[in-house]
Structure 1
């Protein structure tokens, strides 16, 4: 399952009394599907995977599979310690997910070889295709990336580190390995606000990327994606200047805003997605007001381009 294109990472809505709001989640998913992403990645980083109980996780994945109804693949996050990751993988499989995004192992740091062993341990417990999320304490080197090719249901690497030089080395090692799966293996740009780095990653052969902006401003996210694919630099430069750069500056003000600010944006769009769970903090009122102004400026720039 090698994915191409724009990838959706839906939020997990919570009620004010701290329950997962599946009714709002369904509405959110339908809005995401209408934007025509390549896949839905549910209960991942933006979906606050680490804040979910196993029962909530099962509800989220099952609901996403039901709503998607075969229109596009549903990939579920899984992670924690090795046994916990296996447990989540099993839940995702019985819930009907089409694939897994394996988040970094809980807390423990190791070596690239140790990380491959961790991936193998989880992969042996499921038949679902697995994409390995490289970030934080999960860092691969070229030899480790090539070793993943020998795990039949490991289908790709999502990068969240932002080291383009290091990522080029992984892509090159895999593509020139001579392994039968070398060309089918996928690479995804999973940086926060990946639109900022899409051109650099495209240059090294990483064309698919995740878009948190799709969660709250799908018109801007899809217009930017179309412009990237058509090489329309007038559109990409304008949207970077008028929307993405100011958004990233605001996002970087507070750790955790990569999720909390996206939830604030979804609320501005009319979705009652509720608060974030600890240890994240909800966006401050003044930052929400600034976000609203940034979205308005981005849409005004888009309208001028389209007019």
Structure 2
């Protein structure tokens, strides 16, 4: 297995669709190149933000292949989880065959396995697929928390390289960091509001929604925190705060896709049953994006005058 550096910023990419709800591969690849040029540390296609739940297995693989083809020098970590272990294994094997550098595996949703079932699920995939794998805990979507004891046990597996923390429980995140310090194991934030707190307790970075819109700022915040410059990291955290809040007024990725369209990065079209952002939220989102653009322009002008 070739290890990858799981520190820094990894945007959870959107999947753009055309007017017929087919994948817009040209826009997808342009977006991957934009994010790479902005300095991100890796890309995560076909996760929750990439609307994986409404993609076919073939589309999953096609998206992964397209992103890999588009970028030059950043790892591509493919979402390949499922609530069916056999299905997750098949998706993981196909992502590996497509050339993915790593895998992001959401815990089984809806059927709510016990912790022993979660261990068996992840070990089955880790034993079979020789790629670094990230365990993804998002109880609000899955209905089941991955308990710290379970994460610690999984961390001992040589192929399980990290944990995406989207529980909203900073105490639990800190405990997992504390108890896996002897392992080569990365803990990444999966909640944009908690990226800075997660790094502060020993996390290594973020798999981020907001980084789709503000990759440079997100990279600057995480980089400053990892370097111990918490004054600068807090400053950027608060700059991004209004946008982060707007990106979660409705179910992700509804708001971020709207923001992508406003910025000209891709269409806001969703696959049913997700819908476009409610009109009542659009003006606030536009205003926050305009404020960030104005701040960036003013900063660039000030630096140019020096």
- TM-score band, normalised by shorter chain: 0.7 to 0.9
- The match for 1:24 among 15, 23, 27 is 27
The aligned residue for residue 242 of structure 2 is: 246
Give the Cα separation in 1 of the matches to 2:233 and 2:94: 42
What residue is the counterpart of 2:149 in the other structure?
Answer: 143
Structure 2's unaligned 5+ residue stretches are none
Find the aligned partners of 1:138 and 1:34 in 2 and give their Cα distance: 37
Partner Cα separation in structure 1 for residue 197 and residue 264 of structure 2: 34
Corresponding residue of 2:187 = 187
Distance 1:155 1:225 in 2: 20
In angstroms, what is the RMSD of aligned CA positions? Answer: 2.1
**Hey, what does 1:267 align to over in structure 2?**
261
Shift of 1:228: 3.7
Deviation for aligned residue 1:281: 1.7
Taking the aligned partners of 1:197 and 1:106, their CA distance within structure 2 comes to 23
Deviation at 1:53, TM superposition (A): 0.4
For structure 1, list consecutive stretches of 5 or more residues without a partner in the other structure.
Answer: 176-181
| 1:63 paired to 2:63 | no
Give the SS at the match of 1:167.
helix
Q: Distance in 1 between matches of 2:169 and 2:133?
A: 22
Pairing of 1:94-243 with structure 2 (within 5 A): 94-136=97-139, 137-175=143-181, 182-191=182-191, 194=192, 196-229=193-226, 231=229, 233=231, 236-237=234-235, 239-241=236-238, 243=239
Partner of 1:75: 77
Describe the SS at the equivalent of 1:79. coil
**8 Å Cα contact 2:12/2:209 also seen in 1:** yes
Q: Distance in 1 between matches of 2:280 and 2:248?
A: 15
Query: Alpha-carbon deviation of 1:146?
Result: 2.4
CA contact 2:39–2:216 (8 Å) conserved in 1:
no
Q: Which moved more, 1:137-146 or 1:148-157?
A: 137-146
CA distance in 2, matches of 1:75, 1:66: 13
Q: Distance in 2 between matches of 1:271 and 1:77?
A: 21
Partner residue of 2:42? 39
Superposed CA deviations along residues 179-226 of structure 1, whole A, max 9, x for unmatched, are xxx3411111111xx2x3233212221031123222123344344345
Q: Distance in 2 between matches of 1:5 and 1:240?
A: 15
Counterpart contact for 1:220–1:299, Cα < 8 Å: no
What is the TM-score with the length of structure 1 in the denominator? 0.87
Contact 1:13/1:274 (8 A) holds in 2: yes
Tell me how far apart the structure 2 counterparts of residues 184 and 41 of structure 1 sit (CA, whole Å): 20
Task: Please state how far the C-alpha of 1:268 moved relative to its aligned partner.
Answer: 1.3
| Range 122-131 or range 77-86, more displaced | 122-131
1:179 matched residue in structure 2:
none
Report the Cα offset of residue 91 of structure 1.
1.1
Deviations 1:26-49 (A, max 9, x none): 111110111111111111111111
